[in-house]
Amino acid sequence: MITLTHFLVVSACIFCIGLYAVLAKRNTIMILVGIELMINAAILNFVAFGKYDKVNYGGQVFALFAIVLAAAAVAVGLAIILNVYRHFKTINPENIHELKD
């Protein structure tokens, strides 16, 4: 029998892998991938709890909202990354340390 705790532990693992990617990677695209992993862990929590909410379907509805938000975030983030690459000729966040032109 698959209980709620199984889902929570799996999503905790995925979340921490995403956290590690955000902290350790030296490539902006991989940092974005780490953020996507963390959002996916949150969506897994949403649907796991949403199983017990048949009246409102809140978990599944807000999981869909979270997917839309993640898609919007990745579109804007990649546009910013492409602009930064065009400007600085690098996407390593350590080399991007000035705001002025």
Partner 1 sequence: MMIESLLFYAFASMAIVSALLLVNIRNTARALFLLFIVLFAMAGLYLFALADFIAITQILVYVGGVLILLIFAFMLSNKELLNDLQSTSKRFISLPNWQALALAVAFLGVMVYSYISWSQHMPQWITQSEAKGTVILPTDNNIKVLGFKFMTQYVLPFEIISVFLMMALMGAAHLSRKENNE
x-or-dash string of contact with partner 1, 9-38, rule CB under 8 A: xx-xxxxxxxxxx-xxxxx-xx-xxx-xx-
Tell me phi and psi for residue 90, to 5 degrees.
-155, 155
Q: Does 89 bind partner 1 (CB under 8 A)?
A: yes
Q: What is the CB neighbour count within 10 angstroms for residue 14?
A: 16
Q: Does 75 bind partner 1 (CB under 8 A)?
A: yes
Per the CB < 8 A criterion, the answer to whether 66 and 42 are in contact is yes
Q: Does 87 bind partner 1 (CB under 8 A)?
A: no
Complex with partner 1: residue 5 or 100, whichever CB lies closer: 5
Near partner 1 by CB under 8 A: residue from 42, 85, 98, 99: 85
> Is the CA virtual torsion 31, 33, 34, 35 positive or negative?
positive
Tell me how far, at minimum, the Cβ of 101 lies from partner 1, in Å.
11
- Single out the residue of 90, 87, 82, 89 nearest to residue 101, CA to CA: 87
Q: Does 95 bind partner 1 (CB under 8 A)?
A: yes
